[in-house]
Chain A
Amino acid sequence: DTGVSQDPRHKITKRGQNVTFRCDPISEHNRLYWYRQTLGQGPEFLTYFQNEAQLEKSRLLSDRFSAERPKGSFSTLEIQRTEQGDSAMYLCASSKGDRANTGELFFGEGSRLTVL
């Protein structure tokens, strides 16, 4: 499978615990994005990497959230001290950073977080 892969697909945790999600983008894509989607809403932008550099973060990304892409390949999104309001689907997407810059993002299957 050469698409965007995310792990784990589902995570149930207790309030106050830390969780980490991993994303492996499409291999030739140098741009990687994290989005969050809650029930009945469209995905909301969280952050964006070009290679290993995190170039933009949404104000939605509180201090409890941190994302990394250490070698410009896979990325992790960590949520510390989870709250019930963090329950959502966390979507990773990637795109090819070429001259065409079509803006087409390809999403992984998502990691669904439930905070009890």
Chain B
Amino acid sequence: QKEVEQNSGPLSVPEGAIASLNCTYSDRGSQSFFWYRQYSGKSPELIMSIYSNGDKEDGRFTAQLNKASQYVSLLIRDSQPSDSATYLCAVNRILTGGGNKLTFGTGTQLKVEL
């Protein structure tokens, strides 16, 4: 079982629709969770972080966390063509000295169609 699993997609949604991206993780000790957006050929860009069960909203983005089910999701409302990218789910483990080791999924490719 992979530590962080995502559906690779592509997930295609029409412009203006809600895109729903899902992620499951295996380490119950994980404490913080992140969504990164990565455009082709570019580096990952942090878009959402979530630390406790429930929903966290930031603009058009909502992250949802359910630790009992080991499940994280990202909703993108009013999807725009500029949202077309690969979305990476990452879970955090605290390292020696307090550093952070992020384990990433393989990413879900999102395509927003006109």
Binding site for B on A (CB under 8 A): 31, 33, 40-45, 48, 50, 53, 55-56, 89, 91, 95, 97, 101-110
Contact = CB atoms under 8 A, between A and B. Distances in A.
A109 B32 contact: no
Contacts of A44: 104
Nearest to A89: B43
B99 A104 contact: no
20 contacts: A31-B100, A40-B8, A40-B106, A42-B105, A43-B88, A43-B104, A48-B101, A55-B96, A56-B95, A56-B101, A95-B100, A103-B31, A103-B102, A104-B34, A105-B102, A106-B46, A107-B36, A107-B43, A108-B43, A110-B42
Nearest to A51: B97
Contact of A104 (B49, B95, B96, B104): B49
Nearest to B31: A103
Nearest to B92: A103
